[in-house]
Amino acid sequence: MTAISDRPQMLPGEFEEFSRHLARTAEGIRPEFINGKLGVKPVPDGDHGRIVQWLLRICIQARPELYLHDQGLRIQGYRGGFARPDGTLADADAFVGCGDWATTGGVLMVVEVTSYDSDTDRRDRVEKPRAYAETGIPVYLLIDRDSAEVVVHSQPDGVRYESVRIVPFGKSVPLPDPVGISLDTEPLKNWVR
């Protein structure tokens, strides 16, 4: 028997229609549908945006054939879902013609930068690592502003990431293949509260 709390709030198709409606009527809202639950990401603050810019520049310099996209993804794990990572590393043309929600084929890494809101723990540290691992995304990079740490998840096994490496801001951290980039995280100290 399925518990009431295990039932999805809506079906994936209903979410797609809902998100299209929001895009037309509500500015600055970024809906997601993970693990059968509707969520809304807050509009990023200036420091959050600066961190994404910093990472974008590093990725382009190290791997010019790639781009750090702002692209919604269909994450086909447990109940199907839709996530809008802060960054999605893939070929520069990977999402041409895809619309709001693309499949994860060709995605090398997804990036989340924590926000200062009450849902960031559940969303960025619990639900998204599971959803991204279930989908088979090779690397999940979490830039955690609360703990001043970079968390690199890799080696998805279809349920979870088998490798999780945590490095404090200020140290270098290699992003494993297929990303193959090393990050000097010293600048991140400038963009936390």
**Domains observed in the chain:** 44-191 (3.90.1570.10)
Q: Which amino acid is at 35?
A: N
d(CA 1, CA 59): 47
Residues 41 and 190: their CA atoms lie apart, in Å, by: 23
Closest CA to 99 of 80, 76, 82: 82
> pLDDT tens per residue, the chain (193 residues)?
444 455 555 555 666 565 555 555 555 556 555 666 655 555 667 798 999 999 999 999 999 999 999 998 988 664 568 888 999 999 999 999 998 889 999 999 999 998 876 666 677 788 889 999 999 999 999 999 999 999 999 999 999 999 999 999 999 999 999 999 999 999 999 998 7
Integer Cα distance of 159 and 178 in angstroms: 19
The Cα angle at residue 12 between residues 10 and 100, in degrees rounded to 5: 125
- The C-alpha atoms of residue 115 and residue 98 are separated, in whole angstroms, by 27
